[in-house]
Amino acid sequence: MALLNITGVEKSFGDRRVLRHADLIVGEGERVGLVGVNGSGKSTLMRICAGVHEPDFGTVEIQGRLGLLEQEPKLPGPTVGDAADDGLAWHRELLSSYEAALEREDFDDAGHIQAQLDQRGWAQEHRVDALLERLDCPPRSALVSELSGGEKRRVALVRALLDEPDVLLLDEPTNHLDVETIGWLQQHLERFRGAVLMVTHDRYLLEALATRIVEVEDGETISYPGSYADYLITRAERRASLEKAEDSRLAYIRREAEWASRSPAARSTKQKARLQRLDALTAKRPLKREETFELDLSTGARSGTTLLEAHNVDKAFDGRVLMRDLHLSLQRGQRLGILGPNGCGKSTLLRMIVGEETLDAGDIVLGGRVRIAWLDQHRTGLKEGDTVWEAAADGNKWVTVGDSQVHVAGFLGRFLFTRPQLDQKVQVLSGGERARLLLAKLLLKGCNLLLLDEPTNDLDLLTLRVLEEALLAFDGSALIVTHDRAFLDRVCTGVLHFEGDGEVVPYSSRVQVDAAMARKAKAAARKAPEAKPQTSAHVSRKAAARAAEPKKKLSFKEQREYEELPAAIDALETEHGELEAVLADPATYTERAGEVTALTARYEALPAETEVLYARWTVLDERA
């Protein structure tokens, strides 16, 4: 059964046609990922689904209730508690309807409502506080008007999850969530009873949840069955076929146009059908070529081996210790990912490095000839009233890129800004367009130390891949605060993990962070006072004796295997990310066509191999 059915939808804003003949069907239980480049119309299509925007043309048919999480949500009520409680409005309505049915002695209706309440639960209020705490939201009494953008999004996510609609529409749900919370959200959505339509740049989330991918391309929608990995392969094959057909069409038009202009026979009545075919092919909408750009952040600037050192750094805020006795040495070529829960001090560390925040104790020392470029979480550095042209080059017509002078229009064209967009104000740009503009400014600035605070927020998958490639080729060093697991696993050479109570620990990978946290959780559970067991008369003596047996310790061989497993898992996940990039590249299907089958098979086999290693590590970890 189709819960959401959109047919032939068109939508324009001014002279910009965003959607043209867009179709979308979401059935019961489906998990649909909505992808496309920034500005392609993904969020517009979501708002049309939710009734926020009306389509210019086309039909929208909805069966059941829809819930929407927008990128910039508007929360009802003056406080966090009011906004969150609003998510249970459906439950209060059910209870009221049940009571009304009993009062009018409509026992059939009351029985129907009772069945719904039996299934979904008579008491729901406890879930509000549990979700607010789980998503690290401000206190219930906090005023909505005083919340930051990230806090508003987390409260709005709580409200959307409590609402339990038939179709849940999520626009970038992982923005402003830490890695642990994203993992929890993934598990929550896997158990969600309704359908999900989501726009997200989190490739691991898409791969884990999506049963189908719908791409918005040139205003139209193309549906790809299967997972995100299936989409990458099928899309590359489809694009290669379409481009080949487009090249044939253009070649045919050139031949026929030359014949029509030179041959007297073209003016005869007998050739009218041939001319009509030429007119039809010429009038056909041309294939929109793949938009891409390159980002080279390397400057060739000389620097020492060590770009940054931190010695005995302490920092506390409002009586809470963020970091204690922090030591850090960042070498040329290192790209450190910074992980930890929201509010633990990740962004504070970056602000201390650039001098925007003072240290309570210790020193941060920059190496000689170090030039810093900073992309902060709030995307500052752009003036709302400036045009794109003015923001990129301070009103100049020419900019210096490397050793060359480049016209601003040509330079911004590399970042997919069209000439009409150059006169647009910064204030009307989408989050992804702002990020692309700031990346352009980073390139102009030139640096050998990059500080990136949540750089993947609002980026489309194309820009994400471009940024990944640029960082992998970067000749300097980088400190990157990110919640994007795929981005971190592919780009970062190490991880700095904020573990609470001021402890900041370096690791070689995210896998090792997960392993260390699991060991700490197990150790904490062992130290906790054990509750007195509830015995039963039906528990056999044999079972009780087996439960009391001490766990068999790891052998020397197993201990060695246990220590080596995190690195092996890390290697498989790295290989998986590299193969994803290879299979996403259309050139692979022309230059390495003979290898595609083997590459695809290996790509599809890697997750299972990784799960086997994870399972083995879990078994050994229980006995370690």
State residue 337's pLDDT score.
Answer: 93
Cα separation, 558 vs 550, in Å, equals 17
Q: Is 90 exceeded by the pLDDT of residue 551? A: no
Task: For 513-534, write each residue's pLDDT tens digit.
Answer: 887 777 777 777 666 655 444 4
> 220-225 and 212-217: which strand pairing?
antiparallel
Q: What percent of the chain has pLDDT over 90?
A: 30
Other C-beta atoms lying within 10 Å of the C-beta of residue 273: 9
Q: In the predicted model, what is the mean pLDDT of the chain? A: 83
Backbone dihedral region of 136: left (phi > 0), alpha (psi from -120 to 50 degrees) or beta? left
Q: What is the mean pLDDT of residues 335-354?
A: 91
- 341 and 501 in contact (C-beta within 8 Å)? no
Residue 554, amino acid: L
Q: Which amino acid is at 529?
A: P
Supply the pLDDT for residue 527. Answer: 67
CA of 613: how far to CAs of 208, 561, 562, 621, in Å? 18, 10, 10, 12
Cα separation, 226 vs 619, whole angstroms? 31
Specify the pairing of strand 361-366 against strand 306-317.
antiparallel
Nearest to 164 by CA among 199, 127, 132: 127
pLDDT at 362: 93
Is the dihedral angle over the CA atoms 265, 266, 267, 269 positive or is it negative?
positive
pLDDT in tens, 241-258: 888 888 888 887 888 777
- Sort strands 167-171 and 66-69 into parallel, antiparallel or unpaired: parallel
Query: Can you give the pLDDT at residue 376?
Result: 85
With beta carbons less than 8 A apart as the criterion, state whether 69 and 158 touch. no
Task: Tell me the average pLDDT across 301-317.
Answer: 86
* Residue 138 near residue 129, CB atoms below 8 Å: no
Q: What is the pLDDT of residues 67-83, one digit of tens each?
A: 999 988 999 889 999 99
User: What is the pLDDT at residue 358?
Assistant: 92
Distances (CA, A) of 140 to 129, 148, 161: 8, 15, 17
Question: What pLDDT shows up at residue 470?
Answer: 86
Q: How many CA atoms lie within 13 Å of 462's alpha carbon, on the beta-carbon side?
A: 19
Q: Which residue has the tokens 């392609």?
A: 40
The two structure tokens encoding residue 95: 């209870």
Q: Comparing 435 with 167, which gets the higher pLDDT?
A: 167
Q: Which pLDDT tens digit goes with each residue over 126-140?
A: 889 899 998 989 999
- Write phi, then psi, for 62 (nearest 5 degrees): -125, 130
CA distances from 621 to 131, 223, 451, 614 (A): 30, 42, 36, 10
Q: Between these two residues, 28 and 396, which has the higher pLDDT value?
A: 28
pTM summary value: 0.74
Which H or E element spans position 491?
Answer: helix 485-491
Per-residue pLDDT of 139-180, as tens digits, reads 999 999 998 888 899 999 999 999 989 999 999 999 888 888
* 474-496 confidence digits (pLDDT tens): 888 999 999 888 899 899 999 99
Q: Determine the 3-state secondary structure of 224 from DSSP.
A: strand
Q: What is the pLDDT of residue 264?
A: 58
Order of strands across the sheet with 220-225? 66-69, 167-171, 195-199, 31-35, 212-217, 220-225
For residues 427 and 31, the model is more confident at 31
Residue type, 366: L
Please say if the pLDDT value at position 619 is more than 80: no
> Hey, is 465 helix, strand or coil?
helix
Between CA 566 and CA 577, with CA 571 as vertex, the angle to 5 degrees is 125
Angle at 210 between CA 607 and CA 52, to 5 degrees: 155
Q: What is the mean pLDDT of residues 97-123?
A: 86
